[in-house]
Chains A and B, each alone.
Chain A
């Protein structure tokens, strides 16, 4: 599942980390998006830059079905179209004021985005449930060539979705066996910390050699 084309789905976050009426910065190999969920639960991925003054929209706030920029309160709807400019309350914003929006889908507790609409839905990852997302200070290629790996952590079956999000920066979404109990999940969460230290140490040693 390495990201090869703009039509590929990229896992960016776990559903549980984005409750209704919140926004987060979603890191991808091609930069950051403002990923937000409306009060009614609809997901939107927008370019992380307010067209007005360049402020990152992921620092903004969600009211109802719109994302507002924290700087001047310009708000954007589910298509990225600017809906409201508080400094000119009577003005209906021109259609040209728009933040670019991208394909986004949620499946089995994982949120995926794509820069162009893919032909198929993102993978279901049946048999697994989402546990947590972590960031590693190492290159994704040092961990896996395919973007996906199966490992046994704390004796539990674990699927890792690996995304390089920058030089020396990698995002890993940790999925565990769907049958894992809370106790198992905590054990895996702890083991993941060790796995991260190992990966980062390995990266440092490779750099040194």
Chain B
């Protein structure tokens, strides 16, 4: 069982993909400063290595101390021969979540949900312990984003798979990323509407830190809560994009202070600078303050990929 160090409610700005058959990378994963890692059993693993990778990831989940890292395992798609074995081996070891590729419809999530619940039951694990991150990588999946997010309380995040999606759309991924603008907006809206996290796709050119910075800033502003990384050198750039601005932070601190005063003085209404603020604004302010604490040591930004 994965050794937990209280990963609930941790902001998850970055998800570092690590091939499941790469022990050298997995053993160093807590050192890179990512908020979470994605141990990959799917695209990064050749068919001949699927069993070995599954075994490797299981062994690490059994015995390795991941510290405060959020640990997610990307399993193979439901229509693959590996899917059931992946879940049977991985779920009992309770990673924080499994990432389910190619979710197109509610039924995809429901089927996985049932299987995971069964495995949880069989292993005496409270049902719902292992969360599910639904990967949307087809036009159909994007159009069904909201219903997929609402398909089960187990769904904790929607995540967009940019490469497969652009292929499905019959377009190319461009530097500007306009082809993904609608899909991203749709995923963010569905995630917000259903109260789950929204994770953006990877930036594939590890030498182009500037391009990554630009895209990360865009998706953070669009409302994504995190972004996947394919190299540790991308993590700081991604984190930088989510850093609250000093102005934002100052305002958030005022909002929270006023909210506390209002609470203690029995006032029902919170106002800042003469304007009323309501609950979602206060929640966002609290989130920004929590987020800002993560930046104490990450002051330099950028990085060499």
**A associates with B:** no
